[in-house]
Amino acid sequence: MRPSLRTALAAGLLAGLALLSGCESAGPTLKDSAYAMERSRANLARKELVLADGTRIAYLEGGTGAPLVLVHGFGADKDNFTRVSRWLTPHYRVIVPDLVGFGESTHRRDVDYHYAAQAERLHAFTQALGLARLDLGGNSMGGGISMSFAAQHPQEVASLWLIDCAGIAEAPPSELAKIIATTGTNPLMITRESDFPAFVKFVMSDPPWIPGSVMDVLARERIANQDLEREVFQQIATDSVSGAVKGLATPTLIVWGDEDRALSAGTVPVLKALLPNAQAIVMPHVGHAPMIERPQQTAEDYLCFRASL
């Protein structure tokens, strides 16, 4: 249940453009400039490929070393991992796709969005890149997809990095789940531009600064995709990978923000009970997106994990 966290815009990078933020037409320029600067700092380049079934996948790639594939979550896109990649590309070949239905990849209403089906589409992508073995990480919905991928193809996954991940039926109910159950309203959905600031506040405890005009651009992109997002959310909200991953021996790092309102940090001990080779880090004063809120610390913790393997 990963919300759209396409808000990976560093305050320092945007400061020089802030004078334009009051102009409605400046929003796309600000957003594109900020993304371009973040990608450049992270040594990431945009690429794309077409799968055998004609599905187009846009992705970011950069760095050298063992391939590290990172998977975004619900409503999000590849740039959720741009900030943290700045500290990862010196060590790994980082690859971050837009999942089908999100970002710049093909948006399809005719396919299954349960975790296992999304994992198989991700596998088709990694096969197209010729990746026989990889390290795999995911945030929220992307974590559920990553676990399903590892369960389906354990010989191909050297390690897992699960960041505030979804897909565990036994997890304690989160604030998000309680709000949906009692009000029928989903704080992760964007139906008008004015929803976006509250959404950012809900999913992150310490979000980066974002000019209002850029928030409006991000909101309009979510609004345009809202019908598909509702279908995806309906499928993943009742899906679980718990049975598939129980006893999975893949070395795993679990990372969680202790102020996550979308997915309860109480999921951590549940995951550790399912995954016998898992270790966990709970980050104080962090919400649902540690890789955006604390990118350097999140990367350094991951590097320590990898060094321990």
Task: Tell which residue, 23, 80, 33, 20, has the closest CA to residue 200.
Answer: 80
CATH code assigned to 11-308 = 3.40.50.1820
d(CA 168, CA 242): 5
- Are the CB atoms for 10 and 207 separated by under 8 Å? no
**Residue 123 falls in the annotated catalytic set:** no
Catalytic pick among 140, 148, 159, 264: 140
Kindly tell me the burial class for residue 135, based on how many C-beta atoms sit within 10 Å of its own C-beta (0-12, 13-18, 19 or more): buried
The predicted pLDDT at position 125 comes to 98
Catalytic pick among 4, 33, 72, 174: 72
Distance between the two ends of the chain, CA-based, in angstroms? 29
Residue 297, CA atoms < 13 Å, CB-side half-sphere: 14
The predicted pLDDT at position 298 comes to 98
d(CA 273, CA 23): 52
- Are the CB atoms for 271 and 144 separated by under 8 Å? no
3-state secondary structure 228-256: HHHHHHHHHHCCCCHHHHCCCCCCEEEEE
**Residue 194 falls in the annotated catalytic set:** no
The predicted pLDDT at position 14 comes to 39
From first to last of its 309 residues, what are the pLDDT tens digits of the chain?
Answer: 444 444 444 444 433 333 333 444 555 688 898 899 999 999 999 999 999 999 999 999 999 999 999 999 999 999 999 999 999 999 999 999 999 999 999 999 999 999 999 999 999 999 999 999 999 999 999 999 999 999 999 999 999 999 999 999 999 999 999 999 999 999 999 999 999 999 999 999 999 888 888 899 999 999 999 999 999 999 999 999 999 999 999 999 999 999 999 999 999 999 999 999 999 999 999 999 999 999 999 999 999 999 999
The predicted pLDDT at position 212 comes to 87
d(CA 227, CA 42): 33
d(CA 136, CA 153): 12
Task: Tell which residue, 196, 193, 203, has the closest CA to residue 141.
Answer: 203
The predicted pLDDT at position 26 comes to 56
The predicted pLDDT at position 20 comes to 37
Which amino acid is present at 75?
Answer: G
- The domain limits of the chain are 11-308
The predicted pLDDT at position 13 comes to 40
SS3 161: strand
